[in-house]
Amino acid sequence: MSYANARDILPNEVLEIIQKYVDGEYIYIPRKEENKMAWGELTKSKEELKVRNDRIYKDYLEGISVQSLSKNYYLSPKTIQKIISKKRKYENTEGSI
């Protein structure tokens, strides 16, 4: 998201209407519904986190402790537990289909 001066992009009459409601304040103008993108859609972040979490779960199943995983992946034990729980729940629902 980038900053733009309203004077540079809006017609003067539109600017004056907006100034009646918001004078000199910062406002966020959301995207149109059809232009919205899911988180991670423009980058590989979503896929990288999935790969990392799959690896954490695999390591856990191979016997590596939550404490060790926490140190290895620089995450809190609580975060490791959440990842394991989510993966376990996902596997249980996938297996029952």
Cα–Cα distance list, 51 to 67, 71, 85 (Å): 20, 18, 16
pLDDT at 96: 54
pLDDT at 7: 92
pLDDT at 38: 79
What is the C-alpha separation between 91 and 87, in angstroms, rounded?
A: 6
Q: What is the pLDDT confidence band of residue 95, given thresholds at 50, 70 and 90? A: low
For residue 41, pLDDT over 70 is answered with yes
For residue 97, pLDDT over 70 is answered with no
Quote the pTM value.
Answer: 0.59
Mean pLDDT across 70-86: 97
What is the C-alpha separation between 84 and 54, in angstroms, rounded?
A: 9
